[in-house]
Amino acid sequence: MYKPSNSTIGKKTLSPSSILQVILTKGGAKLPKNVPNFPQVHSLVLLKRKGVEEDEVGKVTTFELGISISVPTHIFLQIIASPSLISHGYMVASGIMLVPSRKPLTVQLFKFREGPDLELPYEGVYLVPHKSNPLLYKRGLQQTPSMIKTNEFTPEFNLPSSHTKFDQEEINTLS
């Protein structure tokens, strides 16, 4: 999906087949690349630790990735730990992380087991894009991660009563 042809810091890189726009913000940063057998999943490279020299068991360490990502409002991005990262004794601190659009990307990892620190750069987390609910964006409502379930409206969302019913005409305009 991504083609790192002559990419430089600050240059926007957009693959013709992707809706994700990646901006390299630091030297040595790498563009996301496809994970074999999972065409929508991309691996990300941890570039450097932020504020510490080494990781401690039971503590959270912030890692810089040297990129920022811009996506349309109907897409949200999730970061999950790769199996190799977990085997090294690390996991994403929040279990699953949602990616802020257009901000320098950092990942917080929790070291849960004694072992050697990660040797950086390290390809250890995955970026997974998901479609969010277009009806809520049309109404100008902001979703929270607990609200994002499927690409269809589901009644278990905690919305004000004035926003719980959509007429058929409004639904047809989104199709």
Say yes or no to pLDDT of 106 above 70: yes
Instruction: State the Cα–Cα distance between residues 85 and 107, nearest whole angstrom.
Output: 13
Say yes or no to pLDDT of 127 above 60: yes
Provide φ and ψ at 8, rounded to 5°. -130, 165
Q: For the chain, give every residue range classified as CATH 2.70.40.10.
A: 12-131
Instruction: State the Cα–Cα distance between residues 152 and 27, nearest whole angstrom.
Output: 41
Fold entry, domain 12-131 = Deoxyuridine 5'-Triphosphate Nucleotidohydrolase; Chain A (2.70.40)
Best-predicted range by mean pLDDT among 94-98, 112-116, 170-174? 112-116
The predicted model gives 99-113 an average pLDDT of 90
Say yes or no to pLDDT of 152 above 50: no
Say yes or no to pLDDT of 171 above 90: no
Instruction: State the Cα–Cα distance between residues 7 and 30, nearest whole angstrom.
Output: 9
The predicted model gives 76-85 an average pLDDT of 91
| pTM of the predicted protein model | 0.68
Instruction: State the Cα–Cα distance between residues 63 and 123, nearest whole angstrom.
Output: 12
Q: Which two tokens stand for residue 143?
A: 């979703």
The enclosing H or E element of 85 equals: helix 83-87
